Amino acid sequence: MERRGVKELERWSSRLVFVLAAIGSAVGIGNIWRFPMVVGQNGGGAYLIPYFLAVVGLAIPLMILEMAVGRHWRRNLVASFGRAGKRFEIVGWLICLIVLLILSYYLVIMGWTLAYMLFSLLGSTVTFSSFTSSLEPLACFLISVLATGLIVSLGVNMGIERTVSIMIPFAFLILVALVLFCVRLPGFHPGMDFFLRPDYSILSRPGVWSAAIGQAFFSLSVGMGILITYGAYLEDDMDIPQSALIITFSDLLAAMLAGIAIFSLVFTFGLEPAAGAELAFTTLPRAFELMPYGQIFSVAFFALLFSAALTSSISMMEMNVAAIMGQTGASRKRASIFLMILLVALGTPSALSYSSQDLRFFGSRILDLLDATVGTIGLPIAALLVAITFRWLIDDDILAGQVHLSERWLRALRTLTKYVIPAALLLITAAMIMEL
């Protein structure tokens, strides 16, 4: 008997909106503040070698596999895992939990970007330390949960499509405008020198290779079943490998453009290139303060971060909503409300860890702790479970049925997804666990 919910699965209304939604999932905080810094600190242009290899050899093949699995059965993630046997559904739920935990703190950071967008609109300069010694981060987190939940509760066509069709072109527009301005700044050349000058000695460090793989998967939102979920809404005539290339190219482009803009600014104003939250919420606001029309740039930059974060959080939420709807028969509205409540419960400790409450666990802020554990190790584990289940446990030739490529390319895709990806992921998961 078919489960309830399966037959009414929604469809993307065009090929373009699917690509926009997948780009929306991929382009996020990871591209804008993480990628440039990781590159700058790990050998500049030389880092791009392991990164491209990870993207081309591992992330793109897995992305193609995920979309193929999604369209093949048109099921949510949990039901797709169930195809390997009922008891494998629990593995699907485990991945849902990993994504939900990542989402819980991603929404906290999205709240910060919202706050800073409003601060810049109002023209007030608020330092990160004074912002995080109030309860505003908690309020902004709750707004982020509400916004994400509301959009997802409206459904694939009315909610997700409409949001990504506005937000993604808007985000790229801001990014291109920022870059056009930044290439003329005096800090452009020293910035690019820091960002891209290759230091090939890093290629012998295994840690750089595993970090590059982790960054590639996180940035492309691959390995967590998000593309299985989005793939289930795909039309049959859509070319999967071609879409994978467009999504990947856009994600790389966004990351490179962000790097160009950020380092030109940092070096023009003689600031220290810093990492993560400090870069976005302390260093760059200082640059905006110093530059002409800084307020406009500041609003634009935080609006960019916010829209990138929102379209990523939507994808993480949709995957969970689809699983709950498909497996319990609950309506989309109920599933969304349930998840919003759950997210408030899961994310509040992270929100409070960067607030006046300064909530810590064994001395670390909860948000950092979650990022270092679930956000870092959970991802390769989830990707490993996806690859093994759909390439080893289920024998159907899903790839050949869904992916129309020449026999040679198909063979390469089969080898990569069956042997190379699991082996690489096993290796980096083991290395990461040993480093803990």
Instruction: Give the footprint of ligand PHE on this chain (CB under 6 A).
Output: 25-26, 28-31, 102, 218-219, 221, 224, 226, 312, 315-316
The residue (of 95 and 266) whose beta carbon lies closer to ligand PHE is 95
* Contact criterion met (CB below 8 Å) for 312 and 164: no
**Nearer Cβ to ligand PHE (182/224):** 224
For 315, the token pair is 């994808």
Phi, psi for residue 343 in degrees, rounded to 5: -65, -35
What span, in angstroms and rounded, lies between the C-alpha atoms of 153 and 138?
Answer: 22
The dihedral built from the CA positions of residue 276, 307, 372 and 196, taken in this order, carries a sign that is negative
Q: How far apart are CA 79 and CA 106, in angstroms?
A: 26
| 289 residue type, one letter | E
Taking Cα atoms as reference points, which of 43, 375, 101 lies closest to residue 214? 375
Please state the closest distance from residue 435 (CB atom) to ligand PHE, in A. 21
Closest distance to ligand PHE from the beta carbon of 411 (Å): 29
Question: Which residue number has the CB closest to ligand PHE?
Answer: 28
Token couple for 421: 């990806």
Shortest Å, Cβ 304 to ligand PHE: 12
Nearer to ligand PHE, 91 or 394 (CB): 91
| Residue nearer to ligand PHE on the CB measure, 224 or 260 | 224
CB of 30 to ligand PHE, least distance (A): 3
Smallest gap, in angstroms, from Cβ of residue 262 to ligand PHE? 15
Cβ–Cβ < 8 Å for 44, 256: no
| Cβ at position 386, least distance to ligand PHE in Å | 13
The nearest distance, CB 329 to ligand PHE, in angstroms, is 26
Beta carbon of residue 1, minimum distance to ligand PHE (angstroms, whole number): 32
Q: How far apart are CA 160 and CA 114, in angstroms?
A: 19
Going from the C-alpha of 209 to that of each of 215, 274, 379, 422, 426, the distances in angstroms are 10, 22, 16, 15, 13
Written as six digits, the tokens of 230 are: 């989005």
Smaller CB distance to ligand PHE: residue 171 or 316?
A: 316
Could you tell me which residues are beta bridge partners of residue 365? 360
Toward ligand PHE, which CB reaches closer, 113 or 389? 113
Q: Which is nearer to ligand PHE, 126 or 383 (CB)?
A: 383
Nearer to ligand PHE among residue 153 and residue 221 (C-beta): 221
Q: What letters, b where the CB count within 10 A reaches 16 and e where it falls short, cover 51-70?
A: beebbebbbbbbbbbbbbbb
326 closest CA partner among 102, 93, 154: 93
